[in-house]
A and B are shown apart, each in its own frame.
Chain A
């Protein structure tokens, strides 16, 4: 059984529907016990980092998510849910993440400035729309995906300094982290549930994974 963590941030209708479309019946839950019983866990989310991290912690589901990862069960964060897997976020202050992946979540504008990209600030933030994936290393999550496949992004922050956990990136003035992971822990900055057939293939690869 695949569990979708419901901690009150964002709409889970599309994620649930997209899993159903590939033949998986997910359990949308706010119960830490149910997350512990799941074979694999999806951590979605949109909105502000600090608020979401607080809600996850208050619900007790942060521990259940950590245990999922520690038990070697597949775990995937999407968008803000992905950002929460990293060590910390610099969105309005400094906030600790779950620390499951190496890296820091930083404003896209700052990352671009540091890389000397878009000096005149012409690029629109958030990055909103379809952009191509550049695959940096092989991963079971992307086994049905080809270099250059497009996925749908909506984000103003991106993970930086991911080191070996970087799986794929995307060019928006400079290369930004699109997909990261290690072992059975994965994160997608884009929305696979809104990325058409390519997105469904990523979800399919994920639900096929076992501990």
Chain B
């Protein structure tokens, strides 16, 4: 049986891993390459690297880090951040990324997913969506959760998957950084519309939050988190052991 994946996310700025609360108050954590190795050794099923730098220097540093990580870590690597054109896919894939996640880039140019999927295959294209409740509906936010796009999230996801996104990362801005558990209500709705793997993000604070996630929403394939792993509040090895004891299919 296919296992549920645990995915640490590394937000990288100027060559360092950072993580904040509600996308703000970013603080320096660790070297991405050593952290990636550490996670891989402790049982992480996949790694996500988000490039949150804006400068060209930062971008070059990011691809260096990615290349170095891909030389040392042999689990799937997903890269996001700064993916606006098909050329950006090429740039990170040749540094060893396996999947590329698009967020704001797809909002700016809705044809990007289709073009990239045609060139690199659906399995390579991940649609990442930052979602927040506004006036009783799920709304897509852009620019790291700052701008309300006015797009309805479920329709946006349905469209992205239809265009060829092979996986969807759903990050709930409402629960992100709050550590009170994943946004189960939102994830359930997403699983109804997306017939591709769904990765839950935003809100995990403890091991039980992952157990609740996988027991409550069987359609969710993976749980993603950042700071709780970075700061050692949840150890991946312990988490996966608990999942196993709880009858959730997991790779030990």
Residue in A17, A47, A129, A195 whose beta carbon sits within 8 Å of that of B71 in the complex: A17
Binds A, one of B50-58, B93-101, B146-154: B93-101
B123 adjacent to chain A (CB < 8 Å): yes
Q: Which residues of B from 219 to 241 have beta carbons under 8 Å from A?
A: 221-222
Closest to B194 in A: A124
Q: Report the contact-size class of chain B (Cβ under 8 Å from the partner).
A: 20 to 34
B150 to chain A, nearest CB (A): 30
Q: Mark A147-185, 1 if CB is under 8 A from B, else 0.
A: 000101110000000000000000110000000000000
B84 adjacent to chain A (CB < 8 Å): no
Flag if B3 contacts A129 (CB, 8 Å).
Answer: yes
Flag if A128 contacts B197 (CB, 8 Å).
Answer: yes
Flag if B74 contacts A195 (CB, 8 Å).
Answer: yes
With most chain B CB atoms within 10 A of its CB, the pick from A154, A193, A200 is: A154
C-alpha gap A195/B93 in the complex (Å)? 18
Flag if B76 contacts A172 (CB, 8 Å).
Answer: no
Residue in B3, B71, B166 whose beta carbon sits within 8 Å of that of A126 in the complex: B166
Flag if B123 contacts A154 (CB, 8 Å).
Answer: yes
Q: Which residues of B from 164 to 223 have beta carbons under 8 Å from A?
A: 166-167, 195-197, 221-222
Flag if B3 contacts A193 (CB, 8 Å).
Answer: no
Flag if A196 contacts B75 (CB, 8 Å).
Answer: yes
Flag if A21 contacts B3 (CB, 8 Å).
Answer: no
Flag if A129 contacts B94 (CB, 8 Å).
Answer: no
Flag if B95 contacts A129 (CB, 8 Å).
Answer: no
Residue in B3, B70, B196, B251 whose beta carbon sits within 8 Å of that of A13 in the complex: B70
Q: Mark A12-26, 1 if CB is under 8 A from B, else 0.
A: 011001101100000
A74 adjacent to chain B (CB < 8 Å): no
Closest to B40 in A: A196
C-alpha gap A17/B196 in the complex (Å)? 29
Residue in A17, A124, A196, A199 whose beta carbon sits within 8 Å of that of B197 in the complex: A124
| Residue contacts A-B, CB under 8 angstroms, 12 given | A13-B94, A13-B95, A13-B96, A17-B70, A17-B71, A124-B195, A128-B166, A129-B5, A130-B45, A131-B3, A150-B251, A172-B1
Interface residue ranges, B against A (CB under 8 Å): 1-3, 5, 40, 45, 70-72, 74-76, 93-96, 98, 121-123, 166-167, 195-197, 221-222, 251
Beyond the given pairs A13-B96, A127-B2, A195-B75, 5 more chain A to chain B contacts, judged by CB atoms under 8 angstroms and listed by A's residue number, are A11-B98, A13-B95, A17-B71, A124-B221, A197-B74
